[in-house]
Each structure stands twice: as C-alpha cells, then as structure tokens.
Amino acid sequence: MIRVEITRTRGSSPREAGAAMFVAPDSLTGTIGGGQLEYMAIDRARQMIARGEKAARMDVPLGPEIGQCCGGRVELELRHVEAAPPAPDRPQVLIFGAGHVGRALAKALALLPLRPILIDQRAGELAQATGETRLTPLPEAEIRRAPYGTSHIILTHDHALDFLLAAEALRRLDAPYVGMIGSKTKLAQFRRFARAQGLDTDRLTCPIGAGYSRDKRPEIIAAFTAAEIIGRLTETVFPFEKYPCDS
C-alpha cells in the first residue's frame, strides 16, 4: 500500500498540506482533492506497487497541462506503508426527537464525517428511522454521559422536554453545538427558563437551520441544519479543509 501525502502547496490547491490518501492495487482510502491530480497520483502509486518501489515524489502544476484550473502547484510524497491507519472516531451528534425533522436530520448528518444518533422515548417513531438509534425513557441521561465534544440537537414532541434537554446540553461546556427547533417566541420563553437556572443561552442555536430559507419541509430544515453544524464543527473540532477545486 502507498501513502500519498501533500507536502507543500503553492497558490490555489484542492487540499492543504498534510492531506493524504492510501492506495492499494484495488482500493483507495481518503482523498487529496480529486480531479486529474488524484488520478495521476493513484496511477503513480500503483506503478510503485507493481515495481516494488518504496518511495517517490511528485511536483504537479495544477494548470491546463493536466486539465485542472486551480492554478497552483502541489508537491506529493509517496511512500510504502504496511497498512492504512484506523479511521479516527467521528464526533457524535445526539438528535433528540425522532419525528419528521429528526429522521431527516439523521439521514443528512450520516453523509458527513459525523456519528449521528437518533434518540427518542417512542419506539414507534424510532422504528421509522434509519441509522443508529437509542430508545430511552431518560434522554437527559444521554447528554450527561455523552463523550467529550458531542453536539446536541433538540427537537422533541414536547416543549417542556425540549427545555429540559436544552438546559442539560448547555451545562456541557465541551459541546461545540447545541441547537433547538423552535421560534423566536419559544426562544424567549426558554431564555427566561434558563436564566432562572443560571444558564448562559448565548451558546444555543434556536431556531436551527434558520436564516437560509422560509421553506419548512423537514428535508430542507435538515439540510440547512447539517450545514450549520458542520460549519461550527470545522471551526472548533476538525482541522479546516478547503473544498476541492473544479477539475
């Protein structure tokens, strides 16, 4: 197996220095940004495997000569390794409420480098969901025992339960994102409730996925909320990664 790592970039590039992928004869893990750059690196890595080479370097201009228009330059190091390292644990996102929006959100977040877990007290709602679920009579306990850096999204069928869970989540100062479905009126009511308990509501996002569209279909709310969450997490949890350039 060959580890392909970007060691230096100049100008515009699809990924940053340190981005890596692992190339085997019939499989690929990771990405250095796609496009012709990646195809060239894969081809060179498989040549190395076939020839038994242990190390190589590439210096690739990202211009018309290779069919990309980033305009920068990328240096790659290719090195033989025995195996790819295990994938890092994905940050958890606990979704409280397996209604229409909760189920749509779980699907949307499953496409991202996250581990969404849908939690509800109602077995019937969870039965309609896909992905990882938890049935529990005490959802607040899930917040208390969640791993460090877990995010929490609250959208249950009960406003009182929403308030209880949101307050519990705000007590977790390690939570990068705490969101609650609702309206300006619901937020004002929650702030009064939270102040009585000495909680700071500045960290709460409510309503979730707002400010982008007035469309209230569950899938639309889920899409904007997923963007909101991953935007927050890439600022606080993940290293910043640029979007791949057009190839």
Going residue by residue through the chain (247 aa), what tens digit of pLDDT does each one get?
Answer: 999 999 999 888 888 899 999 999 999 999 998 888 999 999 999 999 999 999 999 999 887 666 666 668 899 999 999 988 877 788 999 999 999 999 999 999 999 999 999 999 999 999 999 999 999 999 999 999 999 999 999 999 999 999 999 999 999 999 999 999 999 899 999 999 999 999 999 999 999 998 788 888 999 999 999 999 999 998 754 443 433 343 3
Is residue 50 a part of any domain in this protein?
yes
Domain ranges, residue 169:
92-236
CATH number for the domain spanning 160: value is 3.40.50.720
Tell me, rounded to whole angstroms, the distance of Cα 86 from its chain centroid.
18
| Interval 75-118: pLDDT, tens | 999 999 998 887 778 899 999 999 999 999 999 999 999 999 99
Cβ neighbours around 181 below 10 Å, total? 23
Q: Whole-model pTM?
A: 0.73
Is residue 141 a part of any domain in this protein?
yes
| H-helix segments, 145-206 | 159-170, 184-195
On whether both 52 and 118 belong to a single domain, the answer is: no
Contact present, 204 and 179 (Cβ < 8 Å) = yes
Is residue 66 a part of any domain in this protein?
yes
* Separation CA 154–CA 26 (nearest Å): 43
244, two tokens: 């791949």
On whether both 100 and 149 belong to a single domain, the answer is: yes
On whether both 61 and 103 belong to a single domain, the answer is: no
105, two tokens: 């959100």
139, two tokens: 């959802």
On whether both 96 and 68 belong to a single domain, the answer is: no
End position of a domain, from candidates 80, 106, 126? 80
By C-alpha distance, which of 213, 236, 234, 235 is closest to 224?
213
What domain count does the chain have?
2
Is residue 28 a part of any domain in this protein?
yes
| Interval 202-221: pLDDT, tens | 999 999 998 788 888 999 99
